[in-house]
Chain A
Amino acid sequence: GNSVTQMEGPVTLSEEAFLTINCTYTATGYPSLFWYVQYPGEGLQLLLKATKADDKGSNKGFEATYRKETTSFHLEKGSVQVSDSAVYFCALKARGGNTPLVFGKGTRLSVIA
């Protein structure tokens, strides 16, 4: 079946550090890939997405590139801020109608000043 594997957290970084959160997936066919973010006490918000190989999704300084050859979708940001502290979820959605999101287990990021 389809699955997503994320690096385990928590990840603690100093402000302005470089962030990478690894994500790899297993899926039949070519899924769409997403990163969602959950700030403390809130619901999930879409951060970025990519729908085909070599697409790069980007938003708020975060980037992720859909790599078919390595089945990966790693999240990166060049300089994190305290306000980026949250839980980050990698997810895939298989082709075909009405398929649900399959989530990774989430990675908690804490950024300290």
Chain B
Amino acid sequence: DTAVSQTPKYLVTQMGNDKSIKCEQNLGHDTMYWYKQDSKKFLKIMFSYNNKELIINETVPNRFSPKSPDKAHLNLHINSLELGDSAVYFCASSSGDYSNQPQHFGDGTRLSIL
């Protein structure tokens, strides 16, 4: 199936731990994104990569470090997790240069910090 897939779907961990979320797309897109959805369902962009290059970094703490080994993958590593990091994280992809092309989203990773 063609899709944006992210793992894990659920992540429960202790404050202070380091964790990673993986994202892969097989749609042939050249731009990938990470969004954060808070408890009130508000969605906000965190990062955007185009062809493995960082394009957007929206005032996200440097505990969050995205890594793009190739244009089909954009992983998110989080150091020293804090309670406020609890949220649902969505990966998305699109054909970068065309603003009329929709973004395709993964199913989300629900991160819960104890």
Contacts and interface: CB of A to CB of B under 8 A. Distances in A.
Please tell me the size bucket of the interface on A. Answer: 20 to 34
A31 B102 CA distance: 12
A111 interface: no
Please tell me the size bucket of the interface on B. Answer: 20 to 34
Select the residue from B99, B103, B108 with max chain A CB neighbours within 10 A.
B99
B13 to A, nearest CB: 20
A101 B100 contact: no
A49 interface: yes
Given A32-B100, A98-B55, A43 B41 contact: no
Contacts of B41: 38, 87, 105-106, 108
A96 B100 CA distance: 10
A97 interface: yes
Interface of A: 31-32, 34, 36, 38, 42-46, 49, 51, 87, 89, 93-103, 105-106, 108
Interface of B: 31, 33, 35, 40-45, 48, 50, 55-56, 90, 92, 96-97, 99-100, 102-108
The 10 closest A-B pairs by CB, nearest first: A51-B100, A100-B45, A43-B107, A97-B97, A44-B105, A103-B43, A106-B41, A46-B102, A98-B96, A43-B105
Given A32-B100, A95-B99, 16 more contacts: A32-B99, A36-B105, A43-B90, A43-B105, A44-B90, A46-B102, A49-B100, A49-B102, A51-B100, A89-B43, A98-B97, A99-B99, A100-B48, A101-B45, A103-B44, A106-B41
